[in-house]
Amino acid sequence: MYKSLGVPFVGWLSVSSTYEPPRWAVETGRGRTRGWECHVTLYRWTVSWHGRGQPYWKLVGFERKPSVDWMLDEFDASFNALAIASIRYHLDYSVLDRERFRESFEDLIARLSEPRPRFTEEEMAVLEPPGWKFEDEFIPQPDGSFRMKPRVGEERAIYDAQQAREDAWHERIQQARHDFIDILPHLWS
């Protein structure tokens, strides 16, 4: 005989006529992990409490629950975050031989999470000096939009240097993405 009952905020309560020795355990299930369970034997009955586990996306520190719509719409923008979450899961929670791949996977996480280059403070001091106003940099258009004024001299050199940094960053990110695709056969549970 087996009966099961869901208890809000706690998990599941089960009663069965099979004997299970009293124990506490942490369980790992498909799609959820780090739940808990407790078995207590009362005469011929075993009472089990199963606590709620956390979904994988919370375990690996994903910022929000990913929805399929969001992933499809923003796939390029979310690719790095999804790849990092997958690698973190396989390093910390899967049956993968973690230590053999740890160094290369952590390096890949660092490369995928490299932030986009920004202007330096010195460059911003030239581009937006004290007293800078929006009108100094943009030309109003008849339709209400704005067009950026052409850059010359030192400002042009700053924008060219920033573009070169962004191009180099983009190449590094693309290589990291290709490296992630190459390790996909090693990511299994």
Q: What is the pLDDT along the chain (189 residues), one digit of tens a residue?
A: 445 555 555 555 555 555 555 555 555 544 445 555 666 666 666 666 666 666 666 766 666 666 666 666 667 778 888 899 889 888 887 776 778 888 999 999 999 999 999 999 999 999 888 888 888 888 888 998 889 888 888 999 999 999 999 999 999 999 999 999 999 888 876
Specify the pTM.
0.63
Integer Rg of the chain from CA: 27
Q: How far apart are CA 187 and CA 174, in angstroms?
A: 20
Q: How far apart are CA 9 and CA 60, in angstroms?
A: 22
CA torsion through residues 8, 14, 15, 19, sign: negative
Residues 6+ apart with CB under 8 A from 21: 39, 41
